[in-house]
Amino acid sequence: MTAPLETLLIPRPEGLYCPAGDFHIDPVRPVDRAVITHGHADHARVGHRAVLAAQQTLDIMAIRYGADFAQTTQAADTEQTVNGVRLSLHPAGHVLGSCQIAIEHDGLRAVVSGDYSRVANPVCAPFAPVPCDLFVTEATFALPVFRHPTPETEIARLLASVDAFPDRAHLIGAYALGKAQRVIMLLRQAGYDAPIYIHGALQRLCDYHLEQGVPLGDLRPATMDKAEARALQRAIVIAPPSAFASAWVQRFADPVIGMASGWMQIRARARQRGVELPLIISDHVDWPDLTRTIEEVDPAEFWITHGREDALMRWAELTQRRARPLHLVGYEDDPE
Amino acid sequence: MMAFADLLERLAFTPGRNAKLAHMTRYFQTAPDPDRGHALAALTGNLDAGRAKPALLREMVGQVVDPELFAMSYDYVGDLAETIALIWPTAEAPRDIPLATVVQALGDASRMQVPGLVAGWLDVLPPSGRLALLKLVTGGLRVGVSTRMALTALAAIGTVPRDEIEELWAGFTPPYTPLFAWLEGGARPELTIRAPFRPVMLSTPIDADGLAPLDAAEFTAEWKWDGIRVQAAAEGETRRLYSRTGEDISGSFPDIVDAMDFDGTLDGELIVRRGDRVAPFGDLQKRLGRKSPGKALLKSHPAALRLYDVLIWQGDDLRGLPFAARRGRLEQALRGLHPDRFDLSQTLDFADWAALAALRADPPDPVIEGVMLKRRDSAYVAGRPRGPWFKWKRDPMVVDAVLLYAQRGHGKRSGFYSDFTFGVWDGTGLVPVGKAYSGFTDEELRRLDRFVRTNTTDRFGPVRALAPELVVEVAFEGLNRSTRHKSGVAMRFPRIARIRWDKPAAEADRIDTLRALLP
Ligand SMILES: [Zn+2]
Ligand SMILES: [Zn+2]
């Protein structure tokens, strides 16, 4: 079983490589031909010669790195052939444009899922399970303690805190691609229709979501002066977590600092961040969704790219599934 | 349980005192009886629900989760109750269980019944409810709320002042239904509490300039001893020693309690005293940490009260009398008390403020931290009224230290680096000697903040290590020996008095300077 699979996919230091098609998927070092699952910086890197990805992922890379981030780019169709290998894209439910990459050759199919989530996300298409012989999964939240509550309950907690402390601005840390827009959409769906303030670092990606038809509503730049910031009532401000360590935050008087991340489920992680309002909102699969997905896809073998692989290996042992940790270096633990 | 769990969650992550109070008040306003009463008991340390040991919980979780997966999870999470709360299988349709139901059932259960009860609740509660339950049954609530804070939050649900609640507090028992009824507009309950806590009268700080316009003849002066302010109340068979915030600390001081064979309420400083010698504060700290001290400790660290005032004596409430009259009654009262456990705080003879300043500058004992001034005509009133009582502290000790680490502040200082660890020279290196976060103007905060951003050498979570460049003048009230600190010394109430932008780090003080100040 192992040998034929490896004509389809092998782990290399620079990332997963498809020998039959001669391309890498989400390589962490510059390569000749790269196929990219989604626009997060640890998966979509700069410096490859040719890049194949969903149009939205290419757009996001251009926004982040400039239009010349690769020598040639090609927007993937739902299905195409690369050097005789059939390659198709399937929604991963992670961030705008995120896709799983399915490759088929000699009657075998491998699916590289990138990062993925099974919870409905208003900013992107839902994950579509693709039956396969080899499933490559992340393991960011692969411990049985990670069972994320529904994002709606977390947003309700945020709004309850806004009601309790209307004159303290609520500053919510959220990563610039995906999480920020998701939090905004969740607020809109919960009926919060006031302007939402965004940190400058989120502007271009929010604009892009609006262009792509994600109705984020009235967004305003959080560049008000001190007097204005302190006069705000029931204000919600979204910012990248790094902004809380910058001078920007000083314009707010006694703000409630929140953070939207799957890590917030662990108190020590929330404390470490100095967070007053931890919101457990994740764009990755939690433990039940991860194990359920493997059962649904039901591969002959699954590989683990990055995260907490030892618990998943133990689960594979208990459920008698073939699994292999790849220990790929270069994917961050934290780009939630 | 879920409303209480939500309260605990917010308290655990809320740094600001006012926000903590707001969360508690909101809970007391919205939660039903008797749940909120049990919650109040839990917050004030009066709920005795600690029925399960960690070993029992581990055994229980071992029956529902693969032990290896549990071990990996526990290793990652780091807290047993939290790991179990997260990993325990969640029901299809979780539901809430009233806090009162849990408290009641735990109270009635035999030891053998506890595991079954707890497992049954874990099966139906949602995860955050499970955590609150586990913290409750292991007796490890730890949310950083004092009784006084809880009562302050409680007072805000109605119009009864906190002091009045505090005075009757000891007469209520969980779940405090008559207390809530009173605060929400009912009649003040008639209580027969024995030896209740009486809210303490506190002094305000003053300095030489503040004293100048006052008439020295109107004041009595006493030494201010470096112990802790307490109240000793005895009535019938009941004897209680209270801290100045009303916590009952009788259990830690059986030697004092045994000697309280009087009927009244006395105010004084709790110290460790060997014969005439008052021991340094560190000796008292050894006693404060011990819930039930052993014979050896009682002998080596004998506690005593140095009496300042009398509030009640043999049924008479003396608080309305002038201080001078109360002082006379106190001197009489002392005659019947055991001299090893009780003595009188001496009054000082002084003709004018200059004479008092001379006394204060050269106190007869190193454990004195200044002088207290009381108007001769002052009644004993609760709280900190400005005017009748002052404390004129000895000038603080100062040392020049170098900033080593910075951390961002909370609340009003959000976003600014305002919490600092500083150190002094030990050989060619710097050894940390304390932490402080007070005493900056807005302008200084901004300048410090810039300094931190441009001088960071390393980061550990929210903490930044700094290049050893900036000298600060640190003022503190005293120094203790410490085995927990690498420097061997621990400062009392350190604060940054001045930032010495001008002073080179090499000219900061050395550890020997501090050691020389040890008592
Ligand atoms: Zn990602
Ligand atoms: Zn990733």
Q: Does B25 touch chain A (CB under 8 A)?
A: no
Chain A CB contacts of B462 under 8 Å are: 272-274
Three-state SS letters, B94-111: CCCCCHHHHHHHHHHCCH
Q: What is the mean pLDDT of chain A?
A: 94
Cβ distance B131 to B229 under 8 Å?
no
* Higher pLDDT among residues B499 and A87, named by residue: A87
Q: Do A275 and B13 touch (CB under 8 A)?
A: yes
Note whether A171 and A252 are same-domain residues. Answer: yes
Chain A CB contacts of B410 under 8 Å are: 274, 276
Note whether A184 and A247 are same-domain residues. Answer: yes
In this predicted structure, the answer to whether residue A336 has a pLDDT above a threshold of 80 is no
Contacts of A126 (CB under 8 A, 6+ apart): A91, A93, A118, A120
Measured distance CA(A224)–CA(A251) in Å, rounded? 8
> Which residue spans within chain A are E strands per DSSP?
10-12, 15-18, 23-25, 33-35, 50-53, 72-75, 79-82, 85-91, 99-105, 108-112, 134-139, 170-173, 196-198, 219-221, 236-239, 256-260, 277-279, 301-307, 322-325
Cα B250 to Cα A286, B192, B232: the distances in Å are 50, 20, 9
* For chain B, percent of residues with pLDDT exceeding 70: 98
Note whether A138 and A157 are same-domain residues. Answer: no
Q: In what order do the strands lie in the sheet with A15-18?
A: A10-12, A15-18, A23-25, A33-35, A50-53, A72-75
To the nearest whole Å, the CA of B75 is away from the closest chain A CA by 11
CA B352 to chain CA centroid, nearest Å: 36
To the nearest whole Å, the CA of A78 is away from the closest chain B CA by 37
pLDDT in tens, B305-356: 999 999 999 989 999 999 999 999 999 999 999 999 999 999 999 999 989 9
ipTM entry: 0.94
Q: What is the mean pLDDT of residues B13-32?
A: 94
Burial of B276 (0-12, 13-18, 19+ CB in 10 A): exposed
In this predicted structure, the answer to whether residue B439 has a pLDDT above a threshold of 70 is no
CATH at residue A192: 3.40.50.10890
Q: Which helix (H) or strand (E) is B277 found in, with range?
A: strand B277-278
In this predicted structure, the answer to whether residue B115 has a pLDDT above a threshold of 70 is yes
- Does A336 map to a domain? no
- Does A136 map to a domain? yes
> Which residue spans within B385-477 are E strands per DSSP?
389-393, 397-408, 417-426, 429-436, 456-460, 463-466, 471-476
In this predicted structure, the answer to whether residue A191 has a pLDDT above a threshold of 70 is yes
Question: What is the per-residue pLDDT for B140?
Answer: 76
Question: What is the per-residue pLDDT for B419?
Answer: 86
Q: Both tokens of residue B265?
A: 């309420």
> Which residue spans within B102-194 are E strands per DSSP?
none
Note whether A12 and A115 are same-domain residues. Answer: yes
CA B490 to chain CA centroid, nearest Å: 18
CA-based nearest residue to A296, from A141, A138, A131: A131
Q: Do A252 and B414 touch (CB under 8 A)?
A: yes
- Does A331 map to a domain? no
Q: Do B78 and A318 touch (CB under 8 A)?
A: no
**Mutate: best of B68, B80, B86, B445, partner A, most A CBs <10 A:** B86
Ligand 2 centre to CA of A277 (Å) is 25
Q: What is the mean pLDDT of residues B69-79?
A: 92
**Mutate: best of A145, A265, A287, partner B, most B CBs <10 A:** A145
In this predicted structure, the answer to whether residue B139 has a pLDDT above a threshold of 70 is yes
Question: What is the per-residue pLDDT for B271?
Answer: 95
Q: Both tokens of residue B198?
A: 């009486």
Cβ distance A240 to A181 under 8 Å?
no
Ligand 1 centre to CA of A207 (Å) is 20
* Residue range of the domain that includes A38: 5-145+284-325
The 3-state DSSP class for residue B82 equals helix
Chain A CB contacts of B453 under 8 Å are: 247
CATH at residue A63: 3.60.15.10
Measured distance CA(B407)–CA(B420) in Å, rounded? 6
Q: What is the mean pLDDT of chain B?
A: 89
In this predicted structure, the answer to whether residue B475 has a pLDDT above a threshold of 90 is no
Measured distance CA(B61)–CA(B66) in Å, rounded? 9
Cβ distance A285 to A293 under 8 Å?
yes
The 3-state DSSP class for residue B58 equals helix
Of B69, B76, B411, the CB nearest to A314: B69
Q: Which ligand is nearest to the CA of A117?
A: 1
Ligand 1 centre to CA of A316 (Å) is 24
Q: What is the mean pLDDT of residues B298-311?
A: 96
Measured distance CA(A320)–CA(B36) in Å, rounded? 49
Q: Which residue of B has its CA nearest to A142?
A: B73
β-bridge partners, A135: A111, A302
* Higher pLDDT among residues B450 and A182, named by residue: A182
Ligand 2 centre to CA of B408 (Å) is 29
Chain A CB contacts of B463 under 8 Å are: none
pLDDT in tens, B141-183: 877 788 889 999 999 999 999 988 988 887 888 999 999 999 9
Q: Return phi, psi of residue A34, to 5°.
A: -125, 140
Q: How sure is the predictor about B438, in pLDDT bands with cuts at 50, 70 and 90? A: low
- Does A54 map to a domain? yes
What is the reported pTM?
0.76
Ligand 2 centre to CA of A222 (Å) is 29
Burial of A37 (0-12, 13-18, 19+ CB in 10 A): buried
Cβ distance B271 to B225 under 8 Å?
yes
Q: Do A147 and B127 touch (CB under 8 A)?
A: yes
Note whether A155 and A130 are same-domain residues. Answer: no
Considering its fold, how many domains does chain A have in total? Answer: 2
Of B15, B79, B462, the CB nearest to A276: B15
Chain B CB contacts of A275 under 8 Å are: 13
β-bridge partners, A86: A81, A104
β-bridge partners, B223: B371
Q: What is the mean pLDDT of residues B467-474?
A: 90
Q: How sure is the predictor about B280, in pLDDT bands with cuts at 50, 70 and 90? A: confident
pLDDT in tens, B42-56: 998 888 777 788 889
- Does A330 map to a domain? no
Note whether A139 and A164 are same-domain residues. Answer: no
Question: What is the per-residue pLDDT for A248?
Answer: 92
Note whether A164 and A236 are same-domain residues. Answer: yes
Residues 36-95 of B with CB under 8 A from A: 65-66, 68-70, 72-73, 76-79, 82-83, 86-87, 90
Active-site residue set of B: 224
Measured distance CA(B328)–CA(B245) in Å, rounded? 26
Note whether A25 and A105 are same-domain residues. Answer: yes
Q: What is the mean pLDDT of residues B476-491?
A: 83
Q: Do A311 and B12 touch (CB under 8 A)?
A: no
Q: Return phi, psi of residue B188, to 5°.
A: -65, 125
Q: Do B82 and A266 touch (CB under 8 A)?
A: yes
Note whether A136 and A45 are same-domain residues. Answer: yes
To the nearest whole Å, the CA of B47 is away from the closest chain A CA by 24
Measured distance CA(B230)–CA(B235) in Å, rounded? 17
Ligand 1 centre to CA of A28 (Å) is 13
To the nearest whole Å, the CA of B412 is away from the closest chain A CA by 5
Question: What is the per-residue pLDDT for A1?
Answer: 43
In this predicted structure, the answer to whether residue B39 has a pLDDT above a threshold of 80 is yes
Cα B146 to Cα A92, A332, B142, B152, B220: the distances in Å are 49, 41, 10, 10, 33
Mean pLDDT is lowest, of A64-78, B21-35, B434-448, for B434-448
Ordered structural domains, chain B, with CATH:
2-138 (no CATH), 204-393 (3.30.470.30), 397-515 (2.40.50.140)
Q: Both tokens of residue A325?
A: 């940790």
Note whether A251 and A296 are same-domain residues. Answer: no
Ligand 2 centre to CA of A114 (Å) is 7
> Would you mind telling me the total number of residues written for chain A in this entry?
336
To the nearest whole Å, the CA of B149 is away from the closest chain A CA by 19
Ligand 1 centre to CA of B181 (Å) is 54
Query: Residue A313's CB: how many other CB atoms inside 10 A?
Result: 17
Q: Do B16 and A147 touch (CB under 8 A)?
A: no
* Higher pLDDT among residues B410 and B441, named by residue: B441
To the nearest whole Å, the CA of B432 is away from the closest chain A CA by 22
Measured distance CA(B311)–CA(B233) in Å, rounded? 9
Q: ∠B54-B58-B62 over CA atoms, to 5°?
A: 170
- Does A216 map to a domain? yes
Measured distance CA(A312)–CA(A303) in Å, rounded? 10
Q: Do A268 and B79 touch (CB under 8 A)?
A: yes
Q: Which ligand is nearest to the CA of A282?
A: 1
Q: Both tokens of residue B173?
A: 């028992």
Note whether A217 and A291 are same-domain residues. Answer: no
Question: What is the per-residue pLDDT for A297?
Answer: 96
Question: What is the per-residue pLDDT for B46?
Answer: 83
- Does A335 map to a domain? no
Note whether A139 and A288 are same-domain residues. Answer: yes
In this predicted structure, the answer to whether residue A2 has a pLDDT above a threshold of 50 is no
* For chain B, percent of residues with pLDDT exceeding 90: 53
- Does A166 map to a domain? yes
Only one residue has tokens 């299809």, namely: B92
pLDDT in tens, A105-161: 999 999 999 999 999 999 999 999 999 999 999 999 999 999 999 999 999 999 999
Q: Do A164 and B26 touch (CB under 8 A)?
A: yes
Q: What is the mean pLDDT of residues A6-12?
A: 92
